[in-house]
Amino acid sequence: MNSMSKIKIFSVLLFLFSAVYFLGHVIYAATNIHPQIKWAWNDVIGWIDFNSTDNVNVTSSELIGYADSSVGYIALNCNSTPNGNICGTSNFKVSHNGNGYLSGWAWNDSIGWISFDSGTSGSSYTYQVTFNTSNGKFSGWAWNDIIGWISFSCDNTGACPSSNYEVKTNWSTPSVSAELISSIFDTKIIGGVSINTIMWQGNQPLGTSVKFQITSSNSENGPWDYKGPDGSSSTYYATSVSIPIKINLSYHNNHRYLRYKIILESDSGRTAAPRVDDIIINWSP
């Protein structure tokens, strides 16, 4: 005879957006700028190529590497200039707030400082270089006192489609995740049970996910070793709303007590999160 254990979740949304895991400063081996969609424009020096050096990267906190232009390399960060790390003598970078807004300074030996937003330059004009965290496309203006405005998209000037250019990155906002570990559930079956399936009910917006790991024991004190389908802690039971998924009985058979871990993940733009109202576990003696 099968039994259905319906578990009500009261603090169900888990407030994903307060559980952001910040990425550290990472220097990548190759660029994450699109190999064709890579051009900024200035009326004096012409095209600026953000891909040809194969080292320009957008991260969650900064830009690194250097772009190429007719007046030489444009260093975006003191830690990754053509001369290596020079932060000990000249500390600068183009910063990223994690949501597509850039600020700070780049440097070129011929024209000097390039400002990516008016907040750091003190300009009487309002400008900023930004990019869309969903599609990676840059927009807006940077400024240099010698050559003037640098445009990151033909949309800025209305030049599209006759002069179709822009810069694009494949960096995207990392999704936000949070987890909840259940209390201990006692099946009351001394000889233990087989945990057959797990299912959840609620709402799952596009691009979000709900995942589980299961642990079981013959002692109410555990040990509680949360496992995915292959018996490891690195895999998960993932299923859509109201669809049961089978549990691997190799690891959860003839055990009286059980617990679960639930992991909720937002979409990549951090605009939507799943909601779990109920969790239903099917078990049999």
114 and 232 in one domain?
A: no
Over 90: is that where the pLDDT of 51 sits?
A: yes
Kindly report the number of other CB atoms within 10 A of residue 76's CB atom. 29
236 located within any domain: yes
Of 134, 169, 204, which residue sits at a domain end?
A: 169
Of 135, 169, 203, which residue sits at a domain end?
A: 169
Over 50: is that where the pLDDT of 170 sits?
A: yes
210 and 136 in one domain?
A: no
185 located within any domain: yes
Q: Which has more pLDDT, 2 or 136? A: 136
Query: Which pLDDT does position 4 carry in this prediction?
Result: 58
Mean pLDDT of 155-163: 86
Q: Which residue has the tokens 């999704």?
A: 175
Query: Which pLDDT does position 5 carry in this prediction?
Result: 57
164 and 38 in one domain?
A: yes
Mean pLDDT of 10-16: 38
27 located within any domain: no
For the ranges 28-37, 151-160, 230-239, 242-251, the lowest mean pLDDT is seen at: 28-37
Tens-place pLDDT, residues 214-224: 999 999 999 99
28 located within any domain: no
Query: Which pLDDT does position 2 carry in this prediction?
Result: 61
For the ranges 21-25, 151-155, 163-167, 178-182, the lowest mean pLDDT is seen at: 21-25
Tens-place pLDDT, residues 238-276: 989 999 999 999 999 999 999 999 999 887 667 788 999
Over 90: is that where the pLDDT of 46 sits?
A: yes
Domain span holding position 233: 3-20+176-284
Kindly report the number of other CB atoms within 10 A of residue 275's CB atom. 19
DSSP-assigned beta bridge partners for residue 240: none
Over 70: is that where the pLDDT of 146 sits?
A: yes
26 located within any domain: no
Query: Which pLDDT does position 122 carry in this prediction?
Result: 67
pLDDT bin (cut points 50, 70, 90) of residue 20 is very low
Mean pLDDT of 152-181: 88
Count of structural domains within the chain: 2
25 located within any domain: no
pLDDT bin (cut points 50, 70, 90) of residue 3 is low
Kindly report the number of other CB atoms within 10 A of residue 174's CB atom. 17
Query: Which pLDDT does position 24 carry in this prediction?
Result: 33
105 and 38 in one domain?
A: yes
